[in-house]
Structure 1
Amino acid sequence: MNMKIRYLDPLERLEYELRQLHEEGWDMTGHQLTYQKLVADNDDHIQEKAFKILKEMYHHYTPLRGKKLDLYRSQGISSSQPEQDGMQSAAGLQKSNELYDKILGGWTGRAAGCLLGKPVEKYSRQIIREILESNHTWPLNHYFTAKGMPESVLQKYPWKQRGGFESLRENIVCMPEDDDLNYTMLNLYVTEKYGKNFTSENVGESWLQMLPVYETFTAERVAYYNLLSGVSPPESGHYLNPFREWIGAQIRADLWGYINPGNPDKAAEMAYRDACISHTGNGLFAEMFFASIIAAAFVEKSPEKLIQIGLSRIPEQSRLSQAIQYTLKMVKPEQDWETIVDALVAEFGKYHWVHSINNASLTVAAILYGQGDYEKTICHAVMGGWDTDCNGATAGSVVGVMQGYSALPDKWIRPLNNRIRSGVKGFDKISFTELAQRTLNVTIKTSVKNKKMEKMTYQDDF
């Protein structure tokens, strides 16, 4: 019997490749029938047959996808200067403790938002509400707790296996390990070792050296395998990788924003170098989008302006940009949150629960709805469902930078006890204050001259 490794299993990859190509606009009817027959037959060679079909589809659709997305290559990114965004220079922040405070706010704000969503990751918003209503903690305004929860509910909806129990209010002693923070620490290591001129290959090598393979998921696990097999970036991001537009790159955006305060162009460009290792298209754009927002949040406090700044760093005709534009027009702070999420589910519920487009839209909606209020932002991001820990983390990071550590509510930050667990070599049990200080050191030490980026041309056309 062949050993099946999640996300590398050929049959699983074939299933999601069919879904991915359908989302890109291709007619998969014939291929879907072939897949269904393969599953129904279930013979001893099913894995080999699935892998053969997957490779044939890759070689057939890759050139076609490249042609279909030529508009991204020709459009590029027309980025305005920070002052044209209505932003002020971040240079003054380095002369005071404010820059450190905002960096620390990003780290801790990200961790607390991640911790909030960790116990219920994958559960729908209906289930999350049922859980919270069972012990009268709906709407969410604190970390989840099992206290007062009926045993029937606990049995029906067990907490997330990886760190969910440790993330309950009564059990928190620090920030448990999570891939949403592992990559932020890994990217700090990359910039400490290679500086801001790191290459995609530098990041890939760091993954192999510093990150255990079973701490990677979906697109990152496929890319990890590709790297080990000698497939270099950017091909490592799309070779037999059906998860290439999922949320994995989006959760790696933050460090690029932290080390480029007030410079969304540079943050987006670094995000591109990182994202192309494992993602393409909208998955790649999602990292660029949030990296630029976080960089801008050092000097801009208007959520609406931040979203516009992020949009100006990704192709306007991409599905991600169109989804964010829809969300920006649809969300009004005076609206009922449930009505907002109903609309998002109706529009983007077709995507997998860890896809970039639906989760980015929900996170943007929470940022807009929260209007700079940290608690309101992360709680609504998590109550919206889908990838709850990722969305809470990203929303918390944006507002954490925007407001700074000193303005974050004590009830969210104090339980972290200034400590985080990690699977990244050399980072386990590190303090948030050390992470912030090392990030500040990189920001200042490797500071580069701001350059106007008239157009970004993609090496990755897929």
Structure 2
Amino acid sequence: MRLTWVQPEDLLPHELVASADEGREVSAIARRWAAAGGSTVPPVSGASPVPAGPELRALAAELLDECDALPAAGSATEPQALTEIRATWPASSGLPGGPPDPDRLHGGWLGRAVGCLLGKPVEKIPRPGIREILESTGRWPLGGYFTAAGLPADVAARWPWNRRSAVNSLAENIDGMPEDDDLNFALLALWVLETHGRNFTGYDVAQAWLDWLPGGRVFTAERVAYRNLLLGLVPPATALRHNPFREWIGAQIRTDVYGWVSPGRPDLAAELAYRDATVSHVRGGVHGALWVAAMTSAAVVASDVDAVLDAGESVLPPQSRFAATVREARALGAAAAGGDWEPVLDALYARHGQLHWVHVRNNAALVAAALAYGRGDLVRSICAVVSGGWDTDSTGATVGSITGALTGAGALPTEWTAPLRGRLRSSVAGFDGVEFAELADRTRKLAVAGEAS
């Protein structure tokens, strides 16, 4: 058995890539690793096929320590402290405030589930594979949940479904929203807010993970942070030790609820998201969390997607790589609205195709472009983002959350929402089988309590 996302020999190649992306000099470390027989090519799915021997594993751990000790790059343009990030925020968002419409909160929860469910079967399948699956069954361009009906055997063998997901996320199998980490983390954020209030800390988030999330239900940066917690580290140190996934997508998928309980206040939503994100992420990984929380804050009160995207950009360090990424992608999507989506994807892949499929920047670029392209329409937006590949269930969930809240549950297409049966599965204790309507009601109570405090 190979444990994923934690073995030193698997982490080091990812670390070399992450450090180089951040502008840190690691070429000498890479040469030492290669000379000892280590691979500098990161494993795609979290573990190398063959475990390293004890000497090579010990060297990997030593070199990870050396990477951790390297000076951080880009501190001037990518501040770490919340006080420095907050100093760039506008005095007012210009968005309407007040308690959010319950139907729009319900739409946010449903939209998040719909988008996630659409992307689940093709998670890890690259863009060309997604297109071949759809074309071979006469379903291109994407316009509904994936199905195995009519799929030729050779195409199925070439592009196998995500095995954990296909059993309950293909159209012919859907019976309620199946479990997914993109929903588990939203439930956990709700629990943290209900239990600790808006003044919760990173320690509260970390303890909630240990108490309520099985270790096998967390991945990449979250699994590393989970391991670091068990080693006795506390946030934010949990995000720093041997964590090459610190700028991947994990924190970005955890923060929708912080926006929904802060309607029209992207600044407050981003502050809540920051405390959660820094348990496992830094820099771009944190920026993604702030960005999504700010957008979901706007989505429950705004009238159009541009106001949502503006709110998201307002909380980002303006000179950061992440801010530049989403601004550029938004412009690409807006320019193509009403036209062909494929050239947008070609441009995004040319710009970000070197990044791992779970990295935050390429996926955020895809989200920004799809939102701008879809102009607030849930189906157009989630089909665009999922057809783009990369982390399909996570990007589908985020885009669905935002467009679902803009639309409201009552106006969402029933062919997309009816298969959910109004409920979802979860391994988070107390939430298995919970109804989306109940989640919306509990979220609104938190939003109202926040207005009163």
TM over 0.5: yes
> 8 Å contact 2:262–2:450 — kept in the other structure?
no
> 8 Å contact 2:292–2:312 — kept in the other structure?
yes
Ranges in structure 2 where 5+ consecutive residues have no aligned partner: 40-51
Instruction: After TM superposition, list the pairs within 5 Å mapping 1:17-416 onto structure 2.
Output: 17-40=15-38, 43-59=53-69, 61=70, 63-65=71-73, 75-77=84-86, 78-82=88-92, 85-91=93-99, 93=100, 99-331=101-333, 332=335, 333-416=337-420
Do the aligned partners of residues 66 and 368 (structure 1) sit closer, same or farther apart at CA in structure 2, a change above 3 Å counting? closer
Structure 1 residue 372, shift from structure 2 partner: 1.1
C-alpha distance in 1, partners of 2:365/2:432? 32
C-alpha distance in 1, partners of 2:154/2:314? 48
Do the aligned partners of residues 40 and 113 (structure 1) sit closer, same or farther apart at CA in structure 2, a change above 3 Å counting? closer
User: Under a length normalisation based on structure 1, what TM-score does the superposition of the two structures give?
Assistant: 0.91
Letter in 2 for 1:114: C
C-alpha distance in 2, partners of 1:193/1:40? 46
Structure 1 residue 231, shift from structure 2 partner: 0.8
Structure 1 residue 40, shift from structure 2 partner: 4.9
Structure 1 residue 81, shift from structure 2 partner: 4.0
> 8 Å contact 1:271–1:291 — kept in the other structure?
yes
Residues 286-338 of structure 1, C-alpha deviations (whole Å, 9 max, x = no match): 01001001101122132223212211101011111010111122221144100
C-alpha distance in 1, partners of 2:375/2:344? 15
C-alpha distance in 2, partners of 1:383/1:253? 23
C-alpha distance in 1, partners of 2:168/2:361? 29
> 8 Å contact 2:78–2:320 — kept in the other structure?
no
Letter in 1 for 2:214: P
> 8 Å contact 1:15–1:35 — kept in the other structure?
no
Do the aligned partners of residues 245 and 71 (structure 1) sit closer, same or farther apart at CA in structure 2, a change above 3 Å counting? closer
Do the aligned partners of residues 350 and 66 (structure 1) sit closer, same or farther apart at CA in structure 2, a change above 3 Å counting? closer
SS at match of 1:149: coil
Letter in 1 for 2:416: W
SS at match of 1:192: helix
Q: 1:458 matched to which residue of 2?
A: none
Write out the 4+ residue segments of structure 1 that deviate beyond 6 Å after TM superposition: none
C-alpha distance in 1, partners of 2:345/2:78? 33
SS at match of 2:244: coil
> 8 Å contact 2:22–2:74 — kept in the other structure?
no
Ranges in structure 1 where 5+ consecutive residues have no aligned partner: 94-98, 450-462
Letter in 2 for 1:87: L
SS at match of 1:18: helix
Do the aligned partners of residues 72 and 445 (structure 1) sit closer, same or farther apart at CA in structure 2, a change above 3 Å counting? closer
Structure 1 residue 340, shift from structure 2 partner: 0.4
Residues 390-438 of structure 1, C-alpha deviations (whole Å, 9 max, x = no match): 0110000001111111111101100000111111111111111121112
Q: 1:96 matched to which residue of 2?
A: none
> 8 Å contact 1:301–1:372 — kept in the other structure?
no
C-alpha distance in 2, partners of 1:219/1:23? 17
Aligned counterpart in structure 2 of residue 6 of structure 1, from 4, 9, 33: 4
Structure 1 residue 75, shift from structure 2 partner: 5.0
Residues 223-242 of structure 1, C-alpha deviations (whole Å, 9 max, x = no match): 01111212111111122111
> 8 Å contact 1:72–1:315 — kept in the other structure?
no
Structure 1 residue 71, shift from structure 2 partner: 5.1
User: How many residues matched?
Assistant: 437
Structure 1 residue 72, shift from structure 2 partner: 5.7
Structure 1 residue 27, shift from structure 2 partner: 3.0
C-alpha distance in 1, partners of 2:74/2:321? 16
C-alpha distance in 2, partners of 1:100/1:179? 24
Q: 2:44 matched to which residue of 1?
A: none
> 8 Å contact 1:296–1:306 — kept in the other structure?
yes
C-alpha distance in 1, partners of 2:79/2:195? 36
C-alpha distance in 2, partners of 1:404/1:390? 20
2:421 is the counterpart of 1:417: yes
